[in-house]
Amino acid sequence: MAKESYQLGQVTMRSSGGPRGRVLEKPHDFKEAWRQILHYAKPYRVRIIAVLILAVGAVLFSLFGPNQLKNITNMIVEGLNGASMDLTKILRISIAAVALYLLSSAMMYFQNYLTTITATRINHDLRRDISQKINHIPLSRLDQSSFGDLLSRVTNDIDTIGESLSHSAVQMIRGLVTFLFASAAMLLTNVPLALVALASSMLGFLFMKIIITKSQKYFVLRQRYLGEMNGHIEEMYAGHTIVKSYNGEQDSLKRFEELNEKLYVNNYMSQFLSGMMMPFMEFVGNLGYLMVCVVGAIMTANHLISFGTIIAFIIYVKIFTQPLGMVSQAVTALQSAAAAAERVFAFLGEKEMEDETDKMQDFRAEKGEVVFDHVHFGYTEGRTIIRDFCFTAKPGMKVAIVGPTGAGKTTMVNLLMRFYELHSGEIRIDGTNITDMSRANVRKLFAMVLQDTWLFEGSIRDNIAYGSQNVTDEEIHEACRRVGLHRYIRSLKDGYDTVINDAFSLSAGQRQLMTIARAMVSKKPLLILDEATSSVDTRTEQLVQDAMEELTRGRTSFTIAHRLSTIRNADVILVMKDGDIVEQGTHSELLRQNGFYAELWNSQFLNAVSI
């Protein structure tokens, strides 16, 4: 989980802590973030309205309760003072009260139930949209972002949003509704006593606000050190072999303990401060309670109110102070959710690749001629690395691209496959500009074997037939036979159905062979091999070479090669240096030129000659 800070859109991303780290990240624009979250809630508005109705209902019913208790109390007090007590009536009222409470609790449950379902749905939709979004973003953008950060948006950030939707948003609604209705109920019952209760609660509320503001600093610091700590741990675990081999353990531990100590201090300060909330809430509750008791008693003593009113108020105060805590907790949670939402929506708001439905969808390259016509390109604005490149690959030609590390060989692939767009100039396949076709169409023309051998979790068969339609088992077996994997795969217990995953993995060489087999079955007119054979061992390579030879026959192929054998067989060699194509020609032509290629070539064999 790489957690680097980087710029995406207009929002600076900070590393996020644990999934439930209760991070108090301040959103840049609280309202905007929530507007976007609510946009996602739109399809579920019927449910949400139901939730609101249920919440109001649950609160209302629970407020009728104290009223019933007041009646009971007053009846008891009357009975106490000599009047005869109507026990059956009390029983009836009690049953009514219990029924009301039951109704209230049932409504509360259904409200919670619907909220959970809706919140998880929204979570699901967000995850789906992020996953979909990835497919629509240009590679130039993706190559710059860290996977770890993106992953943490899918899990941690969306988790935070979900949590706050299902808990805090409901708490908020419930809290506010309760607060309003409880205030109203109190005011209706007795105005002076209600004012006493409200005033004491407000006092407590003020306290809480001060604490929240004060504790912010420690939360920010805690998150920062948590991020630094994550970074250190990640680096040390990933570089474990080096740490061990160079006896770097002690230095690594020293740094770790330093960070750990800082984290500890900020951890307990932030926890302590946020932990004060609860006692204060209780204090507010108690304060309200005692004020009602004392003031109420004084009023009763002066015959201003009945004792039943005090009882009702004691319960009202209890009902009334609870939501204050809920609301204050919810506000912090909603804040961190807004911060998380900003990160998610920043990604979802990324510029997408242009829509191409009106472009050519089904162009077929019959000949396989590829023309580069005055191509200009650079990865960053203003830094052109390919200048005015012109070249024609005739049908069936084998083109090799060579050059030292970092010379920009993969750039050619990025351009051919339209992973990146040209600054100016054209690339034409059989006379058609590739920007006139849809990207999907361009890619349909190429079979590709890349340096990073990417396999997905699935059976060997699915991996090889990947992306191609109507591939028969026989074709798959044949391809595997040709790359020398068939016997090995047959020797596995499940054969071609063996699932490749963490528990069963192939060696680097075998993975490479798999991707070659994949290219073989895909039957495309053009071929790209990006250092494809570099991690295949030299013996297996011979096998692969033969198969490749067969594969390239009749196809126009572009090979990025480190291997001399590939280079020697090529019809044209493009020599790249610092992004430029400095020379082009056949092997012998280039040697004769005695330029950069000749220098590269000879450096390999100077040793041999000197022996």
Partner 1 sequence: MRKMLSYMQAKHWRLFALSIALMFLQVFLDLKLPDYMSGITEKVQTGTATTRTLLRDGGFMLLCALGTTATAIAGNFCSSKMSASFSQNLRSRIFHKVQTFSKEEIDRFSTASLITRSTNDVVQIQNFVSRGLRMIVRAPLLVGLALYKMSMRYWQWTAATAVTVVMVAVVIVILIRFAHPRFRRMQKLTDEVNRSMRENMTGMRVIRAYNAERYQMDNFETANTNLMENEQKARNILRLMPSTNQFATNALTVVIYCIGAYLIASSGSYALGLAVFTDMVVFSTYASKMLMGISSLEMVFNMLPRAATSAERINEILETEPAIVSGTETEGMKKEDGTPDQGTVEFRHVSFRYPEASENALSDISFTAHAGETIGIIGSTASGKTSLVSLIPRLYEASEGEVLVDGVNVREYDCEALRSRLSYVTQSAVLFTGTVRSNVSYGRKTAGAGVKHGNRIPGAGNDPLEPADEDRLWSAVDISQAREFVEKMEGKLEAPVMRGGSNVSGGQKQRLSIARGVYREPEIFIFDDAFSALDYKTDRALREALRKNAGTATSIIVASRIATIRDADRILVLDEGRIVGEGTHEELLLGCRVYQEIAYTQLTEEELKIG
Site for partner 1 in 79-118 (CB under 8 A): 79-80, 82, 85, 87, 90-91, 94, 97-98, 101-102, 104-106, 108-109, 112-113, 116-117
Binder of partner 1 out of 35, 191, 261, 504 (CB under 8 A): 261
* Residue 389, phi then psi, degrees to nearest 5: -90, 125
The interface with partner 1 within residues 445-474 (CB under 8 A) comprises 446, 448, 450, 452, 454, 456-457, 466-468
Burial of 373 (0-12, 13-18, 19+ CB in 10 A): middle
Whether 359 contacts 438, CB under 8 Å: yes
Whether 441 contacts 360, CB under 8 Å: yes
Residue 365 CB, nearest distance to partner 1 (Å)? 15
Nearer to partner 1, 17 or 368 (CB): 17
Nearer to partner 1, 31 or 254 (CB): 254
Residue 105 CB, nearest distance to partner 1 (Å)? 4
The interface with partner 1 within residues 269-288 (CB under 8 A) comprises 269, 271-272, 275-276, 278-280, 282-283, 286-287
| Diameter of the chain measured on Cα atoms | 125
The interface with partner 1 within residues 39-78 (CB under 8 A) comprises 62, 65, 68-69, 72-73, 75-77
Whether 225 contacts 259, CB under 8 Å: yes
Residue 317 CB, nearest distance to partner 1 (Å)? 11
| Measured CA angle at 398 (ends 397, 404), to 5 deg | 140
Q: Is 221 in the site for partner 1 (CB under 8 A)?
A: no
CA-wise closest residue to 334 among 168, 560, 156, 550: 168
Give bridge partners of residue 447 from the DSSP assignment: 527
Q: Which of the stretches 241-249, 359-367, 423-431, 477-485 binds partner 1 when contact is defined by CB under 8 A?
A: 241-249
* Residue 458, phi then psi, degrees to nearest 5: 175, 180
State whether residue 366 is helix, strand or coil.
Answer: coil
Binder of partner 1 out of 29, 423, 564, 594 (CB under 8 A): 564
Site string for partner 1, 390-409 (x = CB under 8 A): --------------xxx---
| Measured CA angle at 93 (ends 87, 95), to 5 deg | 100
Q: Is 505 in the site for partner 1 (CB under 8 A)?
A: no
Binder of partner 1 out of 362, 364, 487, 608 (CB under 8 A): 608
Q: Is 210 in the site for partner 1 (CB under 8 A)?
A: no
Nearer to partner 1, 198 or 447 (CB): 447
Q: Which two tokens stand for residue 463?
A: 């991996």
Whether 56 contacts 111, CB under 8 Å: no
CA-wise closest residue to 37 among 212, 162, 196: 162
Residue 242 CB, nearest distance to partner 1 (Å)? 5
Q: Which of the stretches 188-196, 253-261, 338-346, 356-364 binds partner 1 when contact is defined by CB under 8 A?
A: 253-261
Give the H or E element holding residue 388: strand 386-393
Question: How far is the C-alpha of 222 from the C-alpha of 78, rounded, in Å?
Answer: 60
The interface with partner 1 within residues 175-204 (CB under 8 A) comprises none
Half-sphere CA count of 101, side-chain side, radius 13 A: 11
Give bridge partners of residue 427 from the DSSP assignment: 372
* Residue 524, phi then psi, degrees to nearest 5: -105, 150
The interface with partner 1 within residues 12-31 (CB under 8 A) comprises 17-22
The interface with partner 1 within residues 585-604 (CB under 8 A) comprises 599-600, 603-604
The interface with partner 1 within residues 338-397 (CB under 8 A) comprises none
Q: Is 549 in the site for partner 1 (CB under 8 A)?
A: no
Residue 388 CB, nearest distance to partner 1 (Å)? 25
The interface with partner 1 within residues 413-442 (CB under 8 A) comprises 417, 419, 439-440
Nearer to partner 1, 138 or 373 (CB): 138
* Residue 142, phi then psi, degrees to nearest 5: -65, -35
